[in-house]
Amino acid sequence: MKKIPVDGDSLGIEDVVMVSRYKREVELPREVIDRLEESRRFVEEIIRRGKPVYGVNTGVGELCNTRIEKDKLIELQKNIIYSHAILTPPYLSKESTRGTMLLRANSLAKGYSGVRKEIIERLIFFLNNDVIPIIPEKGSLGASGDLIPLAVLALFLMGEGRGFYKGREMESKEIHRKLGIEPIKYEEKEALSMINGTSFSLSISILSLYDAKVALKGAIISAGLSAEALLSLSSEFHEKIQEAKPYPEQKVIAHALRRFLDGSELIDSNLNKVQDAYVIRCLPQIYGSIYSTLKYAERIYTVEANSSSDNPLVFPKEELVLSGGNFHGSFIATADDYLSISMTILGNNSERRLN
């Protein structure tokens, strides 16, 4: 089976699900390696020049204006991880952890973080060899990225912490030993790039979206069966009604219901019925709004999955290092809220049809 490319540009929702739940293998394309190497050379040149860059040769947070001596830069990377890595239960599910690893690798593959290719290759190696770090379910700051969960992930790559190898829980250093590999030693900027991002939140969101899409498909079938059981009217799903309120998603739901009910001997069999209750009559409008929300969430999550959520970002061709706020989780949080609302509406409609 063809491997899914980690190229920073083409990762889709289905790809994340296939890797997270079904252990589809991934790979780092050659052209991405070239991009990463160019970006890393630029970071190393900046270090040689001695230009102050956040998290590279300065402290982080309130210590952003504190310069770090050159012989302390590697130690700074370790301390960034140690100061953020807190592993407390409950722990993130294995599938969401795999999604986090994939999404972090894909974000770094954009080439705007300036990390060595070895960091991404190690994440890919673990994915392809069924190695799953144990990271906490709680701890994302949202407004400042998924600092704590991603720090625990980064710590695992250093050979510390615990994880699963082929289903068995063991120490990270033991997993490294069994696989015959050395733990990662983070160089300048790499630790900050590992923890500054939205990959943890996004993984949970994408898997939730996939399940929501499955739930909506099932709900359409369930609603069609309810319509039959209640001897409902087909006229409420007529295409002319949908044309009068031309939301594309409403049209899609009405069309799906018409197809499902086509040929039913129960639909339109009650000749005395004038119209159905809201829960049946308004299905195109209710489920159409839910479908619209799922499409919105998918657009947001897909863009986020193929974005660089680090800070600062490096642009080697323009010779720029820019501090910004791409780590902020506002886009994800807003889509998550809409997704939650839509699933509540879906559940309410299903309950009302049966009560």
Choose, from 54, 186, 210, 291, the residue flagged as catalytic.
54
* Cα dihedral 31/33/36/38 (nearest 10): -70
- Sign of the alpha-carbon torsion through 151, 152, 156, 161: positive
Q: Name the strand (E) or helix (H) holding 219.
A: helix 199-229
Q: How many CB atoms lie within 10 A of CB 314?
A: 26
Is the omega angle on the peptide bond into residue 316 within 30 degrees of 0, that is, cis? no
As given in the structure block, the two tokens for residue 146 are 């998924």
Alpha helices of 23-129 — where are they, by DSSP H?
30-49, 73-82, 94-108, 117-128
Instruction: Report residue 183 CA to chain centroid gap.
Output: 26
Q: How many CB atoms lie within 10 A of CB 111?
A: 24
Q: Please give the single-letter amino acid code of residue 189.
A: K
Scored b (16 or more CB within 10 A) or e, 122-131 reads bbbebbeeeb
Question: Which is nearest to 126 in space by CA: 26, 203, 11?
Answer: 26
Residues 111 and 8: beta-carbon distance below 8 Å = yes
Annotated catalytic, 54? yes
- Give φ, ψ of 287 to 5 degrees: -70, -25
Q: Please give the single-letter amino acid code of residue 116.
A: R
Name the β-bridge partners of 313: 322
Q: Report helix angle 283-305 to 13-22, nearest 10.
A: 80
Residues 161 and 176: beta-carbon distance below 8 Å = no
Which residues are known catalytic residues? 54
